[in-house]
């Protein structure tokens, strides 16, 4: 299979990345509904809907803002403005969604942790979306630097590059299995599952950024890496429990 993967069906070129992106949203939400039916939700339906709305608005804003800040220098042409509107990143979406949830909870007066139910659906969505990024090759700015590493792949420009999307897919499988194991074998404080997901995922993204050809750096770090640091500082005050006890 050639990458970028751009199949043609009935004379139409399919945007595989866009298709998988919408599929990721759909399946992640269906997975969330499935999990919610399987367990008792400590948050009532009205408040849960408000939290989802806050997460959606926060993710939409955060994904665009951080996407722009990854390379904020550009000419104000019509083409660049269209690209700016379409620019987004899951990292900004996650952190923006987190802030949106916290704001929504303050407005409605909800004090219970709300993230655990979202943890596995979010991971499923990211996984499906990253398959689209991998199949898009150099058409999507998620590829890595040139490399002589044995996993180097031609992603569409004739150069061997780190397939960072593929690395992330492997990491997500390990993280999903690890968090699933701890959730079922150990007693976790309400909200800790989501906190650990954010800490581990943002940690992975911090280090994988060193393998990407980032153009805009501050103190030698990319915008995504600075966001990772902000996430760690945000969760430092919570100090998720490290003393696990078996169920």
Matching residue, tokens 């999307």? 165
**Do strands 245-246 and 186-187 pair parallel, antiparallel, or not at all (unpaired)?**
antiparallel
pLDDT confidence of residue 208: 95
**In residues, how long is the chain?**
247
pLDDT confidence of residue 122: 95
Question: Using alpha carbons only, what angle is made at residue 197 by residues 61 and 28, rounded to the nearest 5 degrees?
Answer: 60
pLDDT confidence of residue 190: 81
Given a cut of 70, whether residue 96 has pLDDT beyond it is yes
Write the pLDDT tens digit of every residue in 160-188.
Answer: 999 999 999 999 999 999 999 988 888 87
pLDDT confidence of residue 247: 64
pLDDT confidence of residue 25: 92
- On average, the pLDDT of the chain sits at 86
Question: CA–CA separation, 214 vs 195, rounded Å?
Answer: 27
Q: Is 147 exposed, middle or buried (0-12, 13-18, 19+ CB in 10 A)?
A: middle
Summarize the confidence of residues 133-148 as an average pLDDT. Answer: 89
Q: Do 4 and 136 contact (CB within 8 A), yes or no?
A: yes
Write the pLDDT tens digit of every residue in 46-77.
Answer: 888 888 899 999 998 998 888 878 877 666 66
Confidence band, pLDDT 50/70/90 cuts, at residue 236: confident
* Residue ranges per structural domain of the chain: 15-239
Write the pLDDT tens digit of every residue in 23-33.
Answer: 999 999 999 98
CA distances from 105 to 61, 125, 192, 232 (A): 18, 24, 17, 21
Given a cut of 80, whether residue 234 has pLDDT beyond it is yes
Q: Do 145 and 212 contact (CB within 8 A), yes or no?
A: yes
* Beta strands, E only, the chain: 8-9, 12-13, 153-154, 160-161, 186-187, 217-218, 221-222, 245-246
Q: Is 150 exposed, middle or buried (0-12, 13-18, 19+ CB in 10 A)?
A: exposed
Q: How many CB atoms are located within 10 Å of the residue 211 CB?
A: 17
């Amino acid at each position: 299979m050639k990458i970028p993967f751009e199949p043609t069906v009935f004379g139409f070129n399919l945007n595989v990345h866009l298709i998988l992106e919408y599929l990721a949203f759909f399946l992640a939400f269906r997975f969330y509904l499935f999990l919610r039916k399987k367990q008792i939700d400590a948050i009532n339906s009205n408040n849960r809907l408000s939290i989802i709305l806050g997460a959606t608005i926060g993710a939409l804003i955060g994904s665009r803002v951080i996407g722009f800040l990854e390379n904020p220098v550009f000419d104000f042409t019509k083409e660049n403005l269209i690209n700016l509107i379409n620019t987004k990143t899951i990292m900004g979406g996650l952190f923006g969604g987190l802030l949106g949830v916290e704001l929504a909870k303050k407005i409605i007066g909800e004090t219970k942790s709300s993230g655990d139910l979202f943890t596995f659906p979010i991971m499923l969505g990211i996984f499906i979306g990253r398959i689209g990024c991998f199949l898009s090759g150099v058409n999507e700015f998620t590829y890595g630097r040139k490399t002589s590493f044995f996993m180097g792949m031609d992603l569409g420009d004739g150069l061997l590059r780190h397939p960072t999307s593929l690395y992330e897919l492997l990491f997500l499988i390990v993280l999903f299995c690890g968090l699933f194991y701890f959730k079922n074998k150990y007693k976790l404080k309400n909200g800790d599952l989501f906190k650990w997901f954010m800490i581990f995922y943002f940690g992975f993204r911090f280090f994988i950024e060193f393998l990407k050809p980032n153009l805009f750096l501050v103190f030698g770090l990319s915008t995504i890496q600075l966001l990772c640091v902000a996430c760690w500082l945000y969760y430092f005050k919570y100090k998720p429990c490290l003393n696990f006890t078996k169920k």
